[in-house]
Amino acid sequence: MIFNKWHPENFHGVNKKNFFEGWYFKNTDPQKKYVFAVIPGVSIGDDSHSFVQIIDNNNFSKYYRFKLEDFKYTNNPFSVTIGNNFFSLERLILNLEDISADLNFENLKPWPVSLFNPGAMGPYGFLNFLECYHGILSFNHTIKGSVVVRGEQKDYENGNGYIEKDWGRSFPKSWIWASSNNFEDYDASFSLSIANVPFGKSYFVGFIMGLYLNGKIYKFTTYNGAKIYDLAIKENIITFKAKRKNYYLDVRIKKGEGKILLAPKNGNMTGRVNESLNSEISIVFKKDNNIIFSSKGIHAGLEVNGDILKNIENDKRGKVYLK
């Protein structure tokens, strides 16, 4: 199964115990009015089963439970089937009580994979003892198709989407996760993950951050020499700056109203996470002193969980600094 390390989209759970895996498909209609995320996944633990979670920007959230045997997969090429629902990097088919969909995806823009960097995790992706692994399968892509939500037809012809995934034993003790691929007047997408990473008997606060802009992906990560500084969380506003070589990011995230999703703990879907699809991400991106990109992303996904600020403050090895 070592082949899977260079294919983060693939299913990684063969012969695993206390394991979870979930794919995250976010879909925005062409009018930028209706956004929903679909999370198909599998939980292997005390209560093994498969599932499909739905969350949208109209304060709807639901967990659809299936038997473990209802989960089927292929890895070459990748696809997952859960009951009458199908997921791949090219197509999504939903047949659920509250929502049905048939969507095709084109022109995906994944985090690059290379021999020594098997995806967004970089060299950390080769380690086999981490509690959680993360992949970015498409920063932004075109959607064609249709969606029916509780009897109402939604036109998705020339909408846009985002795909990522997580797998392992548990979500981190604390984290900040944010993403938007709906920026004003730009072909742009931004994804951020800052998390407590257990390492031996201690931990460090690591981060994976990518800005896709007009065909190029700018990476700011723990393993490529970047750092995050002046991080602050005040009420519903998160601000920070980031630097790598002569590139600079200034980020402001405004938290919107969220709903509860289930999250994994030691393979079991017993955790609770508040996720918003109504947040906003404002970014100023510079090379030296020249502004390359300045825009606001709407319908942003956002999660803030655990005492991430305290973990950052006590971290002696990380590259994230508070204001």
* CA count, 13 A, side-chain hemisphere, 139: 24
pLDDT at position 21 is 98
| Cβ pair 322, 231 in contact under 8 A | yes
pLDDT at position 65 is 98
pTM for the whole structure: 0.97
pLDDT digits (tens, 9 = 90+) for 214-229: 999 999 999 999 999 9
pLDDT at position 269 is 98
pLDDT at position 201 is 85
If pLDDT is split at 50, 70 and 90, which confidence band does 2 have? low
d(CA 163, CA 39) in angstroms, rounded, equals 10
Task: Return all residues near 54 (Cβ < 8 A) that are at least 6 apart.
Answer: 36, 37, 38, 39, 60, 61, 62, 64, 96, 98, 99
pLDDT digits (tens, 9 = 90+) for 125-135: 999 999 999 99
If pLDDT is split at 50, 70 and 90, which confidence band does 239 have? very high
Residue 1 has pLDDT above 70, yes or no: no
If pLDDT is split at 50, 70 and 90, which confidence band does 10 have? very high
Average pLDDT, the chain: 96
If pLDDT is split at 50, 70 and 90, which confidence band does 318 have? confident
DSSP-derived secondary structure for 217-264:
EEEEEGGGT-EEEEEEEETTEEEEEEEETTEEEEEEEE---EEEEEEE
SS3 (DSSP) at 310: helix
Residue indicated by tokens 């599998």: 42
pLDDT at position 3 is 77
d(CA 57, CA 127) in angstroms, rounded, equals 36
Per-residue pLDDT, averaged over 159-165, amounts to: 98
Task: Return all residues near 3 (Cβ < 8 A) that are at least 6 apart.
Answer: none
| Cβ pair 111, 135 in contact under 8 A | yes
DSSP-derived secondary structure for 46-84:
TT-EEEEEEEETTS-EEEEEE-GGGEEEEETTEEEEETT
- Nearest by Cα to 319 from 212, 237, 244, 218: 244
pLDDT digits (tens, 9 = 90+) for 77-108: 999 999 999 999 999 999 999 999 999 999 99
| Cβ pair 302, 177 in contact under 8 A | yes
Which CATH class name applies to 2-322?
mainly beta
Q: Where are the domains of the chain?
A: 2-322
